[in-house]
Amino acid sequence: MGASGWNYSVKWEGSIEATFTKLRRDAFESGDVYWRWDEEDPENPKPRSLEEWDGSKYGNDYPGAHSIVDIREVVSGVALDDLLPRQSLAFTAEELVALLGSATPTLEDWERIGGVKAEDLWKYEADTDSARHLVLWGDGEPELVVFWGHSGD
């Protein structure tokens, strides 16, 4: 099948960790996971919870969820080349200024460049099985978080 590209724009939930945790759980619970029904394994049934998913062969091996569910951790302060699989890397202030013109960009700034379809965003892309994220601001405080990446086999 190959990796799938995905993206999410979600409401800020008080911290990047809380926002990510809620998004990942909501994605799993809504069924935003790739599942090969024809390959049901009686010894490894379809996980019923995110915790079961994380401990299963599906959450740790081929083919993956093909969604944010494949990402396990948000990180910052790591060089893009040092980003590990299953991590989502925050944009640095310098990257935000270079791409969006502000260290506290707004939804309007994001839309002005074309969002996740922006050609200029490609140089900031993470490798397969990892992601990037950035916070969008409104009225002087975090409002939305955008996550995007590629995952799955």
- Residues whose CB falls within 8 Å of the CB of residue 35, separated by 6 or more in sequence, listed in order: 46, 58
Q: Provide the pLDDT for residue 82.
A: 94
Torsion on CA atoms 105, 110, 112, 114, rounded to nearest 10? 160
Give the contacts of 29 (CB within 8 A, at least 6 positions apart): 50
Q: What is the pLDDT of residue 40?
A: 64
Residue 52, Cβ density class (10 Å: 0-12 exposed, 13-18 middle, ≥19 buried):
middle
Between CA 58 and CA 37 the distance in angstroms is 12
pLDDT in tens, the chain (153 residues): 577 889 999 999 999 999 999 999 999 999 998 876 556 677 777 889 999 989 887 777 667 889 999 999 999 999 999 999 999 999 999 999 999 999 999 999 999 999 988 888 888 988 888 999 999 999 999 999 999 999 877
DSSP 8-state class, residue 82: G
pLDDT given at position 62 = 62
CA distance 103 to 10: 19
Per-residue pLDDT, 63 = 74
Cα dihedral 80→8→63→124 (10° resolution)? -20
56's CB contacts (< 8 A; 6+ apart) are 44, 47
Residue 32: the pLDDT is 92
Residue 24 token pair = 């990942």
